[in-house]
Chains A and B, each alone.
Chain A
Amino acid sequence: MTLEHDISTGDALRHLTAHPDRDLHALDRRRFLQLVGMGAGAGLVAAGPGSTLLDVLMGHDPSAWAAGPIGANDGVLVVIGMYGGNDGLNTVVPVDDPAYYDQHGNLAIAEGDTLSLDAGNGLHPELTALKAFWDRGQLAVVHGVGYPNDDQSHFNSMAYWMAGQPHGVPSTGWLGRWLDGYLNGSSDLFAAAEIGSGVPLHLIGTAARGTGVPDRLPGWGRETSPRDVRAYDTLRAMRNGSQGPWFGAVGQAVVDTIDVNARLAPFYPATQNELPDSEMERKLQIAARLVNANLGLRVLTVGWGDFDSHAGQPEMHTARMRELNAGISQFFATLDPKWATRVTLMTFSEFGRTTWANDGQGTDHGSAAPQFVFGANVKGGMYGTRPAFARLQRWERMAYSVDLRSYYASVLDGWLGGGSSQVLGGTWENLRLFAAGPGAGGSTLPTTPRPPYAGSAPGEFVPLTPARLVDTRTTGAPLGPGGVLRVPVAGQHDVPATGVTAVVANVTAVDAQQAHYFTVYPGGTARPGTSNINGGPGRAVPNLVVIGVGGDGSIEVFNSHGSTHCLVDVFGYFSSDAGAGTDRFVALAPQRLFDTRSGQGVRAGTVGHLAPVEIDVAGHAGVPSDATAVVLNLTVTEPDAPGYLRLTPAGQATAPTSNVNFGPGDTVPNLAVVRLGRDGRVALDGAGHAKHAVGDVFGYFGGAAADADGGLLRAVAPRRLLDTRDGTGAPAARVGPANSITVPVAGQAGVPDDAVAVVLNVAATNVAAPSFVTVWPAGEGMPGTSNLNLLPGQTLANLVICRLGTGGAVTFGNKRAECDVLADVLAYFRSG
C-alpha cells in the first residue's frame, strides 16, 4: 500500500471527495491521491437556480399534482457513513460466541449489557433507537458485509466502498452512477445531497453529482434585506464577464452558493443555536428537514468519524454509538410522519476491526462487519452470515459473507427503483430487505389519519362586506413547502359561529419563491388531490374558492412547494340556518355585464388608481332588481403596472381586500361573489395604474325568483372531475378551436343527478397560444364570455360557477388555441 494504514481517516476521506478538474487520462494513483477534500460547486452541473427535475422534463407541471416533486412511490435513502472503520463486533455483539470474549478481551461487552436482538446477538447498549426499530420489525442487520481481497488502507477501502467496486482506481461512486440514470442528462441541484462540506465520492457520477449542503446555517444568500438583495444582484451580474476559462465558473459558483443557500434557508432554523451542537444530531436533523421540505431529494448522505479506534476504544466507540443513536433519534423526531414509509436509512464503514484487541486498548483495521438498514418499510431480521472467527490469529481478519455490491444492489433495487446491474456491473444478490416498496402501506410510525370531508348540509348564501381573514405577511411566517395554514372562518368578522356550511373566500398567493400550488379544503379533513391556485414567483395569484368549512369552523390551505405568503378574504358564507338574510342561488346563462374598453355597462376608460367606478348590476345581464349578490367573473386586461382590482358593494367604504391581482401586461381573471350595494350597484377600483376591466355574470343570489326556485349550496369533498391530459372525465385530448368538450357533471364526483349548478375550480395548462377558456351549460350556444385568459406556458386556475345544461353537463371550449383543461368539483347547487 502507498500510505500507511494509519493515515488519518480525515485525510483519507478528503482524498475521496471529488476533484472535478480531473483529467481525461486514466486516473493514475497520483491523481487518485489528489482526489481531495473539495468538490464541485453545488451548481456546476445545474440548469439554474430553482430548477428541479420536473421543471426540466416535458409535461410535468407540479402545480396540478397532488404529490410532491417526487412521486408518492419514490423512495428516499439516507446513507450514514462511519469513517475510520467501525468495530462491528461491538456494535452487533455475538453474545453466544466465546471466541468474541476471548479475543476482544477487555473490550468485549457483556451480554447482560447489550440490547438483545435474539439468542445470539445483542446491540451496543447505546443503540436504543435501533432496538426500537428491531422490536417493530423494521431493522435489518446485514452480517459480514465486505469484499474479496480486503484492503486495510482507509484510503483504498473507503474508495472501494464509495465506488461500489472493490478494485481499481475509482472515479465515480455508486450513488453517483445511480444519479446518472435517475437524472438521465437533466440537471437537478436537489436530487442528491451530502450534508457537510464537499461532495464525497459516492455521490459523484459520470455526468451527475450530488450537491454539498451546509450542516450549519447557510450564511451567504439567506438574507433578504434590500441591502443584501442589492449585493446578491451585483454578484449575479458579475458572473457574466468572460475573461477566461475559470472566470464564468467561479462567478457561477458564487451565484450558486447564494441560490442554494437562499433556497435552503427556509428549511433551516433562524439561528445557529437552534441546531444541535453535536455533529450527527445536527446533520441528521438537517437531513430530516430537507426531506420534509419536499425539494425532490432522493438521496441524502452524512458521515462522521473518528471510528479508527487503535487505542482508547471503549470511550471512543461508546461515544460514536451514542452519537449514532442520538442522530437517528433526532432524524425521526424531525421527520414529518407522512414520510415514514418513504424513507430508509442505511450505514456503511470502510471496514470492521480486528477480532483481537491490541496492546493499546483498541483494535486494528479489520474487514467484514455488520451494517444496518432500517425504516418503516424495511423487513426486519438477520441477513447474511455472521463470520466465525475462532481460529483467527492476530491480524487475521474475518471473512465476508455479503459482498458490498449485493448490499448496495438490495437497496438500489428494493428502494431506489432499480438499476443495480448498471450501477454495479453484473448481477448481485438482492437480499430482499424490504417488506414493501416506498409509499406502500408498510407499518408506519403511529399517525391518526384524517377523515375525508363528508360534504355539507344544504346552505343558503349570505353576502358580507369583504373582510380579510388572514395575511401571513403580517404574521411574518410564510407557508413553507408542504405547509398547511389553518384559517378560522366561523365566528370571524361577520361570519356567525354556528350553522356555517361553506364559505366564499378569495385566496391569494403572494411572494411565492417558486412555482407551486395551493389546495384549499375543509379544516380537519383529509387533504384532497385537487388544487385551487397555481402560483409562482413574480406575481400575486388570486382565486375564489367556494369551499366547505370543517367541523372546527375552519378551512385549510396547503402549499405544495417553496415558500409563499397567503391572503384569505371572505366575501360571504353559506348557512344551514335558513331565515332572514340568507339567499338562494340562481345560475344564469353567462353574459357579459361590463367592459371598460367599450363602455358596455360602465363608463368607458381605464380604471384609475383608487378611483372607484360604479357599475349597475341589478336589472342587468339577467340579474333581477331584487338580487342581493352577484357572481361575477372579473378580468383585468391591459394593465401597465402591477396592482389589484377590488369590488365593493356600492356606497360602502372599500374594504382592505382584493379580487384580482396582476402584473404589467397580465390579463387575469378571477371569480367574485359580491354583495350588491346602493341601487343594486357594485363599485370597482383598485391600486396600480390604469387598467381595463371586464365583468361576466354567471348567477346571482337572493330576490323573489331565487326564493322560489333558487338552489342551496352543498359543499363536497373536492374531487377531480376532468383532466384532459390523462383522460379523466373526457377522452384525453386537448380542448381547442376545433373541439369543445362536454363533460357530464350531474351524477359524477359526488354531484347528484338533480343538481342545478356546479362550483368548479377550472385550470388550464399546456397552452398553445394566447387564448381563453369558456365554460358554459351544455346544449347552449357558446357565449361571449371568458373564464380563463391564457398565455402559452401558463398554468392558470379560476373558480367557475356554472349552471348545468343538457344532460347535467357543462362544456369547455377555447376559441383561439389548444390547451389542456382540468376541473375539480368543490360544491353544487340544488333546490332543497
Chain B
Amino acid sequence: MTDNNNGVLVVVEMVESQPIDLGLEMLALARRLTDSMGGTVTAVAFGTGLETTGEILTAYGADQVLINDNAIFANFHAEAWLPDLSKIVAEVAPAIVLIGHSLSGTDLAPRLAFRLDVDVATGCESIDIINGRPHMTRSCFGGLAREVVTFTKTPAVATIRSKTQQALTPMMERAGEVKHVTSILDVNSIRSRVVNREREKAVGVKLESAKIVIGGGLGLGGPEGFNTLNEIAELVDGAVGASRAACDLDWCPRSYQIGLTGRTVAPELYLAVGISGASHHMAGCGNSKTIVSINSDPDAAIFKSSRFGIVGNSQEIMPALVEEIRKLKA
C-alpha cells in the first residue's frame, strides 16, 4: 500500500457561482499544512458559471484549481459529486482532503471516505502536523470535550467547521494552474431523485459573515421576542440567530439555528438573549470574539463564556437597548 502524500485537496463549495467563505478559510488551513509537510494545495470546485473561480481560488492560496463546470452541478447532490470527486482524489493522491462542515459537506465527506476505504473526522476545529502526520482536533460530547485523532491510512478526510480558520488576504498576482475537468458522471448511476426544493428567503446579512450576531433563546418568552432582536440587527448591520429550542418551537426560521447541528458563527460580537448556554449551543458560537449575554438566571452557564453579562428580564432590557443603540447611532 503506497501512501498518498501530495499535499492537501480542498473541496470548495460554490453557492451561486461564488466560493463560500468556509472554502476560502480551508485554503488558508491547507497552505499552513503544506508549509509544514510539503506538497501542493489543490482546490476543487463543482458548479456552473465558474469562469472566475480559478483566479479567485488561486488568489486565496491554491496552487492548482480543478474546475468541474457543468449544469448538473448547479445544486449540490452527493451522488452526482462522488464519481468525479473520487477519481480526482485518486489522481491527485493528497495526504489530506478537506471538506466544509456544512450540511452539504457533512453529507458528502463520509460517503467519499467510505468509497476511498478510509476513516473521516467530522467537524474539525484544527489540524496540526506532528511528526509528519495530520492530527485532527474535533469537538465531541456535545461540545464538552475535544478529541485529537490520527488515521492509519491516507488520505485523511476531514470536515472543517466554519470560522475556525482565517482566510488569507487574496493576492491576485499569485501564480497557479487552473484546469478544467471532464466529468465522468453517468447520470443513470444517481439513485436518489430531488423532486422539489423550497428555499427560505434569506433574511438580512448572512449569519456566518455578520460582524454582529444576536441570538435568541427560550428566555425571549415567545416569537415576538425576535422583533427587538431584528430591530437591533438592522441598526448595527448584524444578523439574528437562535437556539435550537427556539427553532423547535417555530419562534423563528429553522435556518437561524446556531450550534452543534446548526450554523457556526464567530462574529466580533455575539449577543445572547435568553439563552442558557448549553454546550450544544456554544459549539456554534463559542469562538466569537466577545460574547455578551442577557439572562434572568445569575447562574446561567452562558455567563461562564461571556465578557459582559446582564442579569435581568430580556423583555425589559431589550427594548431599552434598542433605544440606547438608536441614540448612539443618531
A binds B: no
